[in-house]
Amino acid sequence: MSINANDSTYQQLIMLPGPTNVPIEVTQAMVAPSIGHRTATFSSMMKEMIRKGKILFECQEDIIHLSASGTAAVEASITNILRKDDKALVTVCGEFGGRVSEQIASVGANPIELVADYGDFPSLSDFERALENNPDAKAAYIVTNETSSGAMCHWLKEAGDLTSKHGAFLVADAVSNWGADKMPLEDYNIDFIATGSQKACAAPPGLAMIALSKRYKEQMMNDPQKLHFLNLPRFIKMSDKVKQTPFTPCLPVYFALNKAYDIMIEEGMENRYIRHQICGKAFYDAFEAMGLQLFGAPETRSNTVISIAYPDGIDDKEFRGSLAKNYGVVVAGGFGEMMGKIFRVGSLGMINSYYVLTTISSIANNMNRLGFKANTDAAIDAALKNLSKL
Ligand SMILES: Cc1ncc(COP(=O)(O)O)c(C=O)c1O
């Protein structure tokens, strides 16, 4: 029997690299009565969210919440400091690195690309060499988790040490792994973290969060760019004055994210990182035991985006379509040049034994239905070995 995905009472498992499954109490928080965004009620909520955000991002400066998706936060990190002819390093090993490079070029600055193949990630020594060869680089942009391929940066802390030594800003496009992988802003010398509500913090889409360093903030405030919506100094000034936003905030998602922050604080960030590592490894081990081929280099594998190469004869559309229809499990396909070659499972946000085991058994069953002989028992055993550590 197939599942009726149009039945609004039926909840599919959203195993995408975002948006992710959302805890019921976070969803319910959105059903609160509306409030005015120029009121003391809004200001006190925003004050609370900034307080919680500072604990989670581990930073001193106030968090900025934009009513927009992650792209807006990444764009703001570029448009607020880069000027024509400035140089900026950028990691490019997939779609999202390519987009950051294009965004850098769109303000007339020069992107210096550190390129790696899909599934791989540029190395720390490449990064160090690029900084040495470009001592005038104003900033370095690292897409900390290349969502299109499932490769992550495993040397973010070292990158922060290097950029601060070279006097360049370090910007993290951490849209798909902030909240899942460790990146304390101040301890790692990161100047800007850009992320989105719909990813590892398990809230609905609609807000982009920005954490920044004192150094980055001062540069931006002292030399402001002519910007309108993404004018971060304007957000900061208004927040300092009345704890409000210059433009109408997306209130329901504010309510939801406020609740999601509570859940994150209650769990503790260290516990959260460990849970993501364990669940990510459970997926990798299980898919390998099932007989599938993992995509990408083992040493650069992401904890949150699990990429698997399709076996010969398995069609992307048919596989993902029947997985959603018959098992209620939604996974992502490949992006750009990976389209049809890989599928991607999001292992982030609420991820736990239930999500991992349901996804693995559904995928194994579906593969068998489509003619690939998947070793279901070995896959479940491999997953359970890891999940017992939770
Ligand atoms: C690494 C990365 N950067 C940027 C984005 C863009 O985020 P959004 O779609 O929220 O604008 C994404 C989205 O998946 C992403 O994974």
Q: What is the pLDDT of residues 20-66, one digit of tens each?
A: 999 999 999 999 999 999 999 999 999 999 999 999 999 999 999 99
Separation of alpha carbons 176 and 195, rounded Å: 7
| 6 found inside a domain | no
CATH of the domain at 252: 3.40.640.10
Give residue 297 CA to ligand 1 midpoint distance, Å.
22
Separation of alpha carbons 302 and 180, rounded Å: 10
- Cβ 91 vs Cβ 142: under 8 Å: yes
Sorted by sequence, the CB contacts under 8 Å of residue 355 that are 6+ apart come out as 13, 15, 21, 279, 347
Do 191 and 106 lie in one domain? The reply is: yes
Task: From 287, 277, 336, select the one nearest 307 (Cα to Cα).
Answer: 287
Residue at which a domain ends, from 267, 289, 307: 267
| 51 found inside a domain | yes
Do 159 and 191 lie in one domain? The reply is: yes
- Please tell me the predicted confidence (pLDDT) of residue 337: 84
| 263 found inside a domain | yes
Separation of alpha carbons 113 and 367, rounded Å: 38
Give CA 104 to chain center in angstroms: 20
| 356 found inside a domain | yes
Do 128 and 67 lie in one domain? The reply is: yes
- Please tell me the predicted confidence (pLDDT) of residue 9: 62
Task: From 92, 272, 101, select the one nearest 180 (Cα to Cα).
Answer: 272
Q: What is the pLDDT of residues 131-173, one digit of tens each?
A: 999 999 999 999 999 999 999 999 999 999 999 999 999 999 9
Divide the 390 residues of the chain into consecutive groups of 10 and give the mean pLDDT of each group. Answer: 62 96 97 96 98 98 98 98 98 97 98 97 98 98 98 98 97 98 98 98 98 98 96 98 98 98 98 98 98 96 98 97 97 93 98 98 98 98 98
Do 290 and 370 lie in one domain? The reply is: yes
Residue 96 Cβ inside 6 Å of ligand 1? The answer reads yes
- Total domains in the fold of the chain: 2
Do 220 and 106 lie in one domain? The reply is: yes
Residue with the smallest CA separation from ligand 1 atom 2 is 175
Do 228 and 289 lie in one domain? The reply is: no
Give residue 292 CA to ligand 1 midpoint distance, Å.
27
- Please tell me the predicted confidence (pLDDT) of residue 335: 85
| 3 found inside a domain | no
Residue 253 Cβ inside 6 Å of ligand 1? The answer reads no
Sign of the Cα torsion 139, 190, 124, 128 reads: positive
Give residue 175 CA to ligand 1 midpoint distance, Å.
5
- Please tell me the predicted confidence (pLDDT) of residue 4: 64
- Please tell me the predicted confidence (pLDDT) of residue 1: 55
Kindly state the tokens that stand for 95: 């779609």
Sign of the Cα torsion 351, 280, 185, 245 reads: negative
- Please tell me the predicted confidence (pLDDT) of residue 48: 98
- Please tell me the predicted confidence (pLDDT) of residue 278: 98
**Residue pointed to by tokens 């809230």:** 203
| 5 found inside a domain | no
Do 293 and 373 lie in one domain? The reply is: yes
Give residue 176 CA to ligand 1 midpoint distance, Å.
7
Give residue 195 CA to ligand 1 midpoint distance, Å.
8
Which range marks the domain in which residue 198 is found? 24-267
- The atom number, within ligand 1, closest to the CA of 196 reads 10
Residue with the smallest CA separation from ligand 1 atom 8 is 70
| 4 found inside a domain | no
For ligand 1, mutation pick of 65, 93, 96 (most atoms within 8 Å of CB): 96
Do 246 and 284 lie in one domain? The reply is: no
Do 256 and 304 lie in one domain? The reply is: no
Residue at which a domain ends, from 267, 292, 317: 267
Residue 176 Cβ inside 6 Å of ligand 1? The answer reads yes
